[in-house]
């Protein structure tokens, strides 16, 4: 199942992103990103369903919590970086 990964700079940032999205009714769990997507050891990722991605990005920008990078995970398991 495809999804978007919104990378954050720290666990605190990921928790805030997740909490902001959850309050808006968007399921957004945070966890460590897969190896190879980041070169920073302290990065975390928030997983967002494709149908909620535009709204999620808007909410995070409005809340001052933009992601560092965004990746799209296709149904075949490959990741591709998305410009936002």
Domain locations in the chain as residue ranges: 3-77
pLDDT at 38: 75
End-to-end CA separation in angstroms for the chain: 21
pLDDT at 56: 97
Write out pLDDT tens, residues 15-61: 999 999 999 999 999 999 988 787 767 789 999 999 999 999 999 99
State yes or no: pLDDT of 3 exceeds 90: yes
Domain 3-77: give its CATH architecture: 2-Layer Sandwich (3.30)
SS3 72: strand
Angle at 40 between CA 34 and CA 46, to 5 degrees: 50
84 falls in which pLDDT band (50, 70, 90)? confident
pLDDT at 81: 94
């Amino acid at each position: 199942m495809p999804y978007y990964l919104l990378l954050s700079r720290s666990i605190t940032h990921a928790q805030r992103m997740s909490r902001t999205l959850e309050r808006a009714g968007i399921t957004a769990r945070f966890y460590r990103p897969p190896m190879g997507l980041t070169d920073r050891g302290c990065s975390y990722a928030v997983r967002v369903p494709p149908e909620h991605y535009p709204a999620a990005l808007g909410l995070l920008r409005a809340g001052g919590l933009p992601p560092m990078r965004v990746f799209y995970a296709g149904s075949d398991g490959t990741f591709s970086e998305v410009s936002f």
